[in-house]
Each structure stands twice: as structure tokens, then as C-alpha cells.
A and B are shown apart, each in its own frame.
Chain A
């Protein structure tokens, strides 16, 4: 009993410490430069994306290689409805829910035709879906109705959409920054706090989903589809729900991304992004929320850190000359790290105890 209390106390201390750390983190990063704050913000978006994909891949066991499509839907909803492009300027409380909702709808659209597919086949179709969304964004700049001569420019094609409104709370533009008790807080740092709030919301949502009746149905589906049916689980609905809920956080992250960047183009939503998000889930620990967060943080921050470490100046200092072009070295180290992790930690860096037991052989 005593140790249980002790455990509980340690847990609270850890959470409080983590909270304080997360609150001062943007200021620490700010000392290194605003570029680092931006990296933090992007990392938080990746956390949301990875959590969303984790619902589909990690919990429900449906391999999705086109997840970035939902990110794109959220980003484009924001970009089209809050920019100079159509001269529409809807507020965030319309755009974020709408983006999430439409992303979820896109999830259903993807889910419906692939209900009977599994494994590799599912992966191929979802991959195609991701590409379709990207190609649509690329080509919806010259749309004409059959018989009509007017050409509509919906997405502005590969040039992307610029001049997107940022986050704006009741007339206060976040990007302007603020000064609190003489402490200057930059716009990006303010964005950080908003993103942090949304990331926490995503964690809360995914956690509750995973531990709900629906979450148990997802687990059953992942383990054995026929047995799941035999338990009275409506596999069709449960699968669709996984795609929809997974897409939801993706759409949310997309909207936030557009708001911070002020610019979106189809280029940001390529296959490589989907693969990256999937890698975060797998490397972190499929189906395990802390693991997935760790995966997202590592994989989005690591390339930046390596970029710094592999800098030409650093190489010049160490070797006297530039050995490998920094960009090449960065990819090399990054790939090597991923291979090593998968070799030595097949269940991920921080797997759930169940998966660890299954893949690494020790019993719980």
C-alpha cells in the first residue's frame, strides 16, 4: 500500500515536472533562435499526426500509407477559407472543427471501399488515396464545368496558397507576439502554447478512445477479424470509426499547420510524409501512446539536430574539409538510426508491455 502511494506521488511529481518543462521549453528554444521554436511547433503537429495514425495502425491494425491526405484536407480547408485566395476570413472556431470534420469524412471515404482489404492490399490502396488527394490539390486550379467556359481556380495548383490568415483570438493576432511582465513572448512561442493545448487534447481523446468500448473492439479487430465478428462486433462500423477518428486529429493538425505557416502547397503532403508519420508510430511503439509521442518527437527533431551536427562548418573543424554534403549525411545518419532501432528494438523504443512481450519474448 505504502509503495503504491509512493508510486502515485512519484507519478504526480513526474507529470508536474514534465508540465513545467513543456511550459519553459519554448523560451529555452527561443534563446537558440526562433527557428528552433518553429521546430518545436512542427514537432507538436507531428505528435498529433502520429497519435491519429496510431489509432488506425497501432490500435485497429489497419495499415494506412496515405495518412498525410487528412493532414492536407485540414490544411487546405483552413487555407481556402481563411486567406486572400477567395477573400474569405472565417475564424478559427469554424475552421478547426470544419477541417477536422471534413478530414474525418475523407477518412470514411477511404474506409468504405477498403473494408474487405487487409495487410499489403490495404496499404497499396491507402497509398493511392494519399496520392489522389495530393494530385487533386495540384490540379484543382483549372476546373471547368462540362459545357461551361469559365475556368475556376480552386487550389491554385502547385503554386500553393499564400497569405493565409494566422490564428487570431478575438481580434488579437497571435503572430504579433506579446509581452508579459516585461518578458517578450514571440508569435511562434504563442503558437507553441496553442499547439501544445491541441496536442494534449489529442492525447486525451486518443487515450479515452483506446480505453473505451470502441477501443476494445479495435483491439479485437487487430488481433483477429473473424473472432471479432464472432464476439458480436460490427467490424464494418468499427473499421470506419477507426479511419474517421484517426483522420480527425490529422485534419486538426493540418489546420494548425496552415495557420502557422501562412502558406500551403501540395508539395508538403507527399508520400514521404505519410511514411514519416508511419515510421514515428512504428519506431515509437505501435498502439502505445507514450511510445508514439516519443517516436514523433525523435523523428521530427532528429533530422534538425543532425542538420546542425552535420553542418559544413562542423565538418570543416573536425576533418579539415567537407567530407560529405550535409544533406546527404543527414539522410544517411537518419536512415542508419532507423535501421538500428528496428534491429535492436523491434517492438519500438517504448512499446506497450503486451507488444514487448510478444515481440521480444519475455513474459509480462
Chain B
């Protein structure tokens, strides 16, 4: 099976400072792969480079065999790659429904879009209760749900999630991960960037541990969870 996303020797630098030092990883079709690491390990830099928000200084990113290194973000959507950005990035002055529709901006099959919006409402009932509410007035967790739902409306084959648990209460984090699990079950390939290593590894099939811009460990998520080094560094002993 060829990888959906393949990253080879990726390098990211800000000015002269290297944030990512030649990392390799891949995500196979239908997999939920997580990239974990502490603050400043380079998780977000990696995702930014993958999603075309910044240009990598070196390396190659391929998606289904196609070179997408440095392809601008907006063009990735058409290829089937959706990004759920860090800090959620909901459109605060638009209501929930409008936010979801914005996710389908690049599409014009209106009837199908409406069906999928209903599907999202089915999957995340909390959003249905708040259709007409401005996104800026939602709680952090609800905003995250909205951001994920919105990303799904781009009909992604590959969904990239940037720290969906950031700043959320534990109970809400559980709910967010439940939604992610549901999406994965439906066959969407997911790359999950997370600081919450425990939860991320519990839900993922495989994981990569990023540390100061380098991949330090990789393997089955279960194995990583049990690994004493991971335990010590990321899971609080």
C-alpha cells in the first residue's frame, strides 16, 4: 500500500534557525497517525510546511504520489487535503451554519453540501443546537468541534488537525477525540498533531515523537504508550 502522505528529509527554518531538521514520516491510507512532542518541538512548523503556509527550505512532501512541496494552502483543498488550523480559526462573526458552509467554499454541488452539513449535525449534535449562533460566542470546545466539522465539508481524503485539544477542559477534550475517532472510522486519513500525548496515542494507530526538530521515536501507538522513555517525557512518568 502506497502512503497517502509521505514526508522526506523535510527542513524548515526561520531565518537562520532550523526548526525542523530533515525529518521523515508517512501516513498510510485510512490511518490515524499522530505527531507528538512538547512545546517548541516543531510540531506546528511541520504542519505549516505540509499545508503550504510556509515554504520548507528542504525536503519533499508527496501526497498520493504527487509532489506537493510548497503548494499554496488554498490549492491543497482541491486535492483533498484539509487543515484544521491551530487555535481553531473559526470565523467569529459568522454563525455556525455559515462557518460550516465556508468549509465547502471550493465546491459547488449545493445539494450534496447540504446533505453533508446535515451529516455533520448528526455527528456533532452540539452544533445543530447552535446553528444560528455566532461562532465567536461559542465555547472553546464547541469552536473546535465547529472547526473540525468545517474541515470535513471540504470532503478531505486527508485531514490534518493541529492541536485540537489546546486550551480545552478534559471533558471537552474527550468529546473532541470521540469526534476524531468517528471521522477516522469513516475512512478519512488523519494526521494529528498533539501535545496531549496520552490521548493522541490512545486513539492513533501509529505515532512519531518529535523533539527539537527531529523525530526521536516512532512505532505503533500502543508500543509508544508503553515505552518507558515516552512515559517519562510525555506522560508524566
Contacts known (A219-B94, A220-B102, A357-B134); A227 close to B89, Cβ less than 8 A = yes
Q: How near does chain B come to A67, taking the closest CB pair, in angstroms? A: 22
A226: chain B residues at CB < 8 Å are: 53, 73, 85, 89
Taking A220-B102, A231-B106, A364-B134 as known contacts, 18 extra A-B pairs with beta carbons closer than 8 A to each other, sorted by chain A number, are A213-B105, A216-B105, A220-B91, A223-B90, A224-B89, A224-B90, A226-B53, A230-B51, A230-B82, A231-B77, A231-B103, A231-B105, A231-B150, A232-B105, A233-B105, A363-B133, A364-B132, A364-B133
Interface residues of A in 202-260 (CB under 8 A from B): 213, 216-217, 219-220, 222-224, 226-227, 229-235
One digit per residue, 1 when the CB lies within 8 angstroms of any chain A CB and 0 when it does not, for chain B 142-154 equals 0000010011001
Contacts known (A232-B77, A357-B137); A223 close to B154, Cβ less than 8 A = no
Q: Is B92 an interface position by the 8 A CB rule?
A: yes
B102: chain A residues at CB < 8 Å are: 216, 220, 231
13 A-B pairs with CB atoms under 8 Å apart are A216-B98, A224-B91, A226-B73, A229-B72, A230-B84, A231-B105, A231-B154, A232-B75, A232-B105, A234-B74, A357-B137, A358-B136, A363-B133
User: Which 9 A-B residue pairs are closest in the complex by CB-CB distance?
Assistant: A232-B77, A227-B89, A232-B106, A223-B91, A229-B73, A230-B83, A224-B89, A354-B93, A231-B105
Residues of B with Cβ closer than 8 Å to A? 51-53, 72-78, 82-85, 89-94, 98, 102-103, 105-106, 132-134, 136-137, 147, 150-151, 154
A355: chain B residues at CB < 8 Å are: 93
B52: chain A residues at CB < 8 Å are: 229
The total of interchain contacts (Cβ-Cβ below 8 angstroms) comes to 83
Q: How near does chain A come to B55, taking the closest CB pair, in angstroms? A: 13
B84: chain A residues at CB < 8 Å are: 230
Interface class of chain A by DSSP: helix
CB atoms of A227 and B106 under 8 A apart: no
CB atoms of A354 and B103 under 8 A apart: no
Which single residue of chain B is at the shortest CB-CB distance from A353? B134
Which single residue of chain A is at the shortest CB-CB distance from B105? A231
Contacts known (A216-B105, A223-B93); A232 close to B154, Cβ less than 8 A = yes
A223: chain B residues at CB < 8 Å are: 90-94
Which single residue of chain B is at the shortest CB-CB distance from A227? B89
Q: How near does chain B come to A160, taking the closest CB pair, in angstroms? A: 43
Interface centre among A226, A233, A354, A357, by most chain B C-beta atoms within 10 angstroms, is: A226
CB atoms of A230 and B151 under 8 A apart: yes
Compute how far the CA of A227 lies from the CA of B100 in the bound complex, rounded to whole angstroms: 12
B93: chain A residues at CB < 8 Å are: 219, 222-223, 354-355, 358
CB atoms of A227 and B90 under 8 A apart: yes
